[in-house]
Amino acid sequence: MVNERVGVNQPSVDGEKKAGQQQTWKPEVYDKEMAFVSAFGAPLIDLLQVKPGETVIDWGCGSGDLASAIAEKGAHVAGIDFSASMIDSARAKYPTLKFEVADGQRFVAPEPVDAIFSNAALHWMTDAAGVAASMAASLKPGGRLVVEFGGHGNIQAVTDALREAFDAIGVSQPYQSPWYFPTIGEYGMVLQQAGFEVNSAILFDRPTKQANGDNGLRGWLATFADGILSVLPAEEADAVVRWAEERLRPALYSNGEWNVDYRRLRVTATRK
Ligand code: BEZ
């Protein structure tokens, strides 16, 4: 079995939850409504330049689609994710691959691997130094890192609108962002301090079309802002969503579809 060669250690999930970890993931909704997440990951796999037989970890693998695509190129792949429901789904979809529940801010692979890959996951891990140290400790010297996630300015219009909605409506809880969206300079420094040499870094706008027409923003918020909205009473959460829709419609809605203002940070690096 090709994928038995990459081991993962015991989950290092502890009892204390951070803001992003309030987030509940529903794999069936994620796979159906948010299929763009994996679809946009395909060019990143090309950057990884997988060599048959090498070992790779997908750091924040979600329901496993990209881990599977990497395995199809001949690598021995393991996937880690903080969400137990996502890992259950990944195991059910790809039973020959190895998936474990683990906190990417602390996880260390029992055997260092040749490459680490991560798509649309690192912005959920706000302890960036912890992530970088964990990834460095999990890679062989000379090992490759290929990551893409939300960079500085990512979903700026959406987060501004949510923050304003909390103030305008006077909701009962303070607004707390669960996300980390660094600049190239900030993230380059984090990686260098953990023992990486940064080979390339780009920050680019990637407006991202949502399914479900007029309900697209509502669906996006239900999936991805669950950690922000679920702490509110239902009527307050509903008012925030309606307020945000009204506020964002002129900028993000046209021709019957919502385009969320994604901005990606794509980095390749080598462990020294
Ligand atoms: C992102 O992929 O950039 C993203 C997705 C959900 C919430 C925040 C950011």
User: Where residue 6 falls among pLDDT bands split at 50, 70, 90?
Assistant: low
Number of other residues whose CB lies within 10 A of the CB of residue 93: 16
Distance in Å, CA 4 to ligand 1 centroid: 31
Mean pLDDT of 187-193: 98
Distance CA 174, CA 122 (A): 24
Distance CA 122, CA 269 (A): 15
Looking at residue 163, what is its pLDDT?
97
Question: Could you give the percent of the chain with pLDDT greater than 90?
Answer: 85
DSSP state of 4: G
Distance CA 232, CA 261 (A): 25
User: Where residue 217 falls among pLDDT bands split at 50, 70, 90?
Assistant: very high
Looking at residue 201, what is its pLDDT?
98
* Residue ID of nearest Cα to ligand 1 atom 6: 224
Q: Which atom of ligand 1 is nearest to the CA of 150?
A: 3
Nearest C-alpha neighbor of 60 from the set 103, 12, 13: 103
Looking at residue 67, what is its pLDDT?
98
* Residue ID of nearest Cα to ligand 1 atom 7: 224
- Structure tokens given for 125: 């891990």
Distance in Å, CA 63 to ligand 1 centroid: 16
* Residue ID of nearest Cα to ligand 1 atom 3: 150
Select from 224, 261, 263 the residue to mutate for testing ligand 1; criterion: most ligand atoms less than 8 Å from CB.
224
Distance in Å, CA 224 to ligand 1 centroid: 7
Distance in Å, CA 160 to ligand 1 centroid: 14
Distance CA 203, CA 264 (A): 6
* Residue ID of nearest Cα to ligand 1 atom 5: 224
Mean pLDDT of 252-264: 98
Asked if residue 162 lies in contact with residue 217, where contact means CB atoms within 8 angstroms, the answer is no
For the chain, list the domains and their CATH numbers: 27-155+178-211+261-271 (3.40.50.150)
Q: Which atom of ligand 1 is nearest to the CA of 223?
A: 6
User: Where residue 13 falls among pLDDT bands split at 50, 70, 90?
Assistant: very low
Give the DSSP H/E element, type plus range, for residue 3.
none
How far is the CA of 2 from the CAs of 52, 67, 184, 249, in angstroms? 10, 13, 36, 48
Taking CB atoms and a 6 Å cutoff, what residues make up the pocket around ligand 1? 120, 123, 150, 154-155, 179, 224, 262
Asked if residue 171 lies in contact with residue 230, where contact means CB atoms within 8 angstroms, the answer is no
Nearest C-alpha neighbor of 220 from the set 207, 231, 205, 232: 207
Mean pLDDT of 234-249: 97
Torsion angles phi and psi, residue 115, rounded to 5: -155, 150
Looking at residue 10, what is its pLDDT?
34
pLDDT-wise least confident of 39-43, 57-61, 128-132, 188-192: 39-43
| Residue with tokens 């970088």, as numbered in its chain | 132
Q: Which atom of ligand 1 is nearest to the CA of 179?
A: 8
Looking at residue 87, what is its pLDDT?
98
Distance in Å, CA 5 to ligand 1 centroid: 31
Averaged confidence pLDDT in the chain: 92
Mean pLDDT of 6-19: 40
SS3 139: strand
Looking at residue 246, what is its pLDDT?
98
pLDDT-wise least confident of 4-13, 28-37, 185-194, 237-246: 4-13
Question: Could you give the percent of the chain with pLDDT greater than 70?
Answer: 92
Number of other residues whose CB lies within 10 A of the CB of residue 123: 22
Residue 34 confidence (pLDDT) above 90:
no
Residue 271 confidence (pLDDT) above 50:
yes
What are 124-166's pLDDT values in tens digits?
999 999 999 999 999 999 999 999 999 999 999 999 999 999 9
Nearest C-alpha neighbor of 134 from the set 67, 74, 64, 82: 82
Select from 22, 29, 40, 262 the residue to mutate for testing ligand 1; criterion: most ligand atoms less than 8 Å from CB.
262
Looking at residue 17, what is its pLDDT?
42
What are 59-113's pLDDT values in tens digits?
999 999 999 999 999 999 999 999 999 999 999 999 999 999 999 999 999 999 9
Q: Which atom of ligand 1 is nearest to the CA of 154?
A: 3
SS3 199: strand
DSSP state of 211: S
Residue 1 confidence (pLDDT) above 50:
no
Q: Which atom of ligand 1 is nearest to the CA of 37?
A: 2
Mean pLDDT of 168-181: 94
Distance CA 175, CA 162 (A): 8
Mean pLDDT of 37-60: 95
